[in-house]
Amino acid sequence: MLRFDQVSKRYPSGFEALNQVSFTLETGAMAFLTGHSGAGKSTLLKLVALIERATSGQIFVDGQNLARTHSWQIPYLRRKIGIIFQNHRLLFDRTVFDNVALPLVIAGHPHNEVGRRVRAALDKVGLLNKERLYPITLSGGEQQRVGIARAVVNKPGLLLADEPTGNLDPDLSREIMGLFDQFNQVGVTVLVASHDLELIRALDHPVITLEQGRLRQVRDSLAS
Amino acid sequence: MKKPTRTQGAQRRPPPGWGWIRGWLLRHAQTALSSLGRLYRAPAASLMTAAVIGIALALPAGLYLLVDNLRDLGQRWDGSASLSLFLQQDLPEARARQLAETLRGWPEIGTVQLISPEAALAEFRALSGFGDALDALGDNPLPAVLTVRPAISQVEAEQIGQLQDKLAALPEVEQAQLDLQWVQRFAAMLQIAQRGILLVGGLLALAVLLIVGNTIRLDIFNRREEIEVSKLIGATNAFIRRPFLYSGLWYGLLGAVLAWVLVMLAFWQLRGPVRQLAGLYQSEFALATFGLGTSFALLLLGILLGLAGSWLAVGRHLSAIQPR
């Protein structure tokens, strides 16, 4: 599903965020991406969603070579990827339902299908009764779950999460990680960037560790 | 209604077909309505923008209508170009009638109307309000006048000029005056006025473009987060552009409607005095306002300017907003 081949990223400022990173994430697998802040976790995720482009090396998402992906193709690539942000990036001027519906509206799904799928996604994250509320009235954990519902509503094959539990207490964090585990069990490929090692230890998944832009180790025999 | 096939997620774009076209139209209708709703939710700001556009459009539209009316007036006189032959003061009326009869026989002449000195005096007395002064004169100072209208074939200015010379050479005629000259001058002046309106109109159209562009630009910056998030979850540029273009369209349309109403109100105010003035000239002339065609053209112009303005803003600023 996701393959990095000798990928480097140097920002225009000269900062080298990633250096010769190679790994493979098989379809249906789940892995954690860890390392200190500034190690390149966010940059790696940005490269996958083509928010940034790699300076050298090749990245394949679902067999698609990102280096050969034109900018007009980027929206269609992103529809295949669900992205979850640390600060969830919900739109506060619309309801929970409308936030979760946005990817479907963007992809042009018919109206009745949008309603059905939004409720299914909200049901999965346990927020079915809050669809009419505005995000501002929800707790931090609930807001993050709305963000997850928005990421999965389009049934993406690949789920990326950037520090999804960064602002949450340990109980809520476990709950959120449990959700990712559930999605993985129904076949979604999941890559979660997190520096919460305690949380990662509790779950039995491969761990990719970055250090100053280099791949330091891949624990638990990530097939490659 | 159930669709026969369901597309698999957003992995593929559905093939073009009736269902796809219907979906496309539906999406546009939804965007158009939600853009209108957005304007409605900030009525003061929207009305202010629309009013500025309305005033900017009303000025050239009103002037255009005014000149159109004047040109219409000029054309009415143009078609009835006539020559007034002032006959010798002491010419007996019988000779005048004889001359009129002769002229009617000329091929280049259409109709000839004789106005006797008495009739001319009566008309002058009635219209000028100098009745008392004329009474004091005692004698009728007015000569007999023949109003000559050229034949239909003789409408070219040159031909009429030749006819004028020929008539002026007649011994009975004191003076042959062509009533067309001032109409021609009037037409020339109108042409200058039209040029001026085109210039003013062009500048004001540019102003409308900038007003809409700036309004949309602010709107884009206010919705920056929404644009970034939408791009992150797979929105195409067209999808993001659409609501802003519709906003521009609505601003233009609202402005044009406002301009229409303003011009109509102004002309309604002018209608009474103009009828009075026309009455003094014994004319049936009444101010013409927007017809169906010109109304439609004004609305279309508003829409196009609104769209163009928002297109400028969207083209300049949307690409600058990239998700971080």
Same domain, A124 and A161: no
Which residues fall within 8 angstroms of residue B308, CB to CB, at 6 or more apart?
B209, B212, B248
Q: Is the pLDDT of residue B288 over 80?
A: yes
Domain-ending residue, one of A137, A155, A173 = A155
Q: Do B9 and A154 touch (CB under 8 A)?
A: yes
**B135 token code pair:** 């009474």
Same domain, A150 and A191: no
Q: Is the pLDDT of residue B130 over 90?
A: no
In this predicted structure, what is the pLDDT of residue A120?
A: 93
Domain-ending residue, one of A155, A181, A197 = A155
Q: Do A154 and B234 touch (CB under 8 A)?
A: yes
Nearest C-alpha in A relative to B25: A108
B-chain CB neighbours of A155 within 8 Å are 9
- Measured in angstroms, the CA of B47 and the nearest CA of chain A are apart by 22
Q: How far apart are CA A22 and CA A8, in angstroms?
A: 10
Name all domains of chain B by residue range, CATH numbers in brackets.
29-77+184-317 (no CATH), 82-179 (3.30.70.3040)
In this predicted structure, what is the pLDDT of residue B111?
A: 81
> What residues 58-117 of chain A have any CB closer than 8 A to a CB of chain B?
72, 75-80, 83, 89, 91, 93, 102-103, 106-111, 113
In this predicted structure, what is the pLDDT of residue B132?
A: 73
Q: Is residue A86 part of a domain?
A: no
CATH number of A56's domain: 3.40.50.300
Q: Is the pLDDT of residue A91 over 90?
A: yes
Q: How far apart are CA A87 and CA A99, in angstroms?
A: 14
Of B10, B228, B237, the CB nearest to A79: B10
CA distances from B19 to A25, B14, B32, B187, B222 (A): 38, 9, 20, 57, 35
Of B23, B230, B323, the CB nearest to A106: B230
Tell me the pairing of strands B83-87 and B145-150: antiparallel
Reduced to 3 states (helix: H, G, I; strand: E, B; else coil), residue B81 is coil
Q: Is residue A106 part of a domain?
A: yes
- Measured in angstroms, the CA of A202 and the nearest CA of chain B are apart by 30
Domain-ending residue, one of A105, A138, A155 = A155
Same domain, A73 and A169: yes
**Which of these ranges, A131-140, A210-219, B123-132, B211-220, has the smallest mean pLDDT?**
B123-132
A126: domain range?
A: 93-155
For B267-286, write each residue's pLDDT tens digit.
999 888 888 888 887 777 77
Number of Cβ within a 10 Å radius of residue A107: 23
Of B26, B237, B323, the CB nearest to A51: B323
Q: Do A78 and B230 touch (CB under 8 A)?
A: no
For A11-37, write each residue's pLDDT tens digit.
999 898 999 999 999 999 999 999 888
Query: Residue A222 — pLDDT band, cuts 50, 70, 90?
Result: very low
Instruction: For tokens 């963000």, name the residue.
Output: A147
Q: How far apart are CA B4 and CA B30, in angstroms?
A: 23
Q: Do B230 and A102 touch (CB under 8 A)?
A: yes
CA distances from A46 to A53, A184, B268, B321 (A): 8, 21, 63, 16
Same domain, A151 and A161: no
Q: Do B232 and A49 touch (CB under 8 A)?
A: yes
Per-residue pLDDT averaged across A190-206, rounded?
87
Same domain, A1 and A56: yes
Q: Is the pLDDT of residue B315 over 80?
A: yes
| Amino acid type, A149 | A
Same domain, A11 and A68: yes
Q: Is the pLDDT of residue B154 over 60?
A: no
Q: How far apart are CA B57 and CA B40, in angstroms?
A: 22
For A100-116, write each residue's pLDDT tens digit.
999 999 988 888 899 99
Same domain, A209 and A189: yes
Same domain, A15 and A70: yes
How many domains, in total, are found in chain A? 2
Which of A56-70, B80-94, B157-171, B179-193 shows the highest mean pLDDT?
Answer: A56-70
CB A8 within 8 A of CB A18: yes
Tell me the pairing of strands A214-219 and A207-211: antiparallel
Which residues fall within 8 angstroms of residue A40, CB to CB, at 6 or more apart?
A9, A17, A18, A21, A210, A212, A213
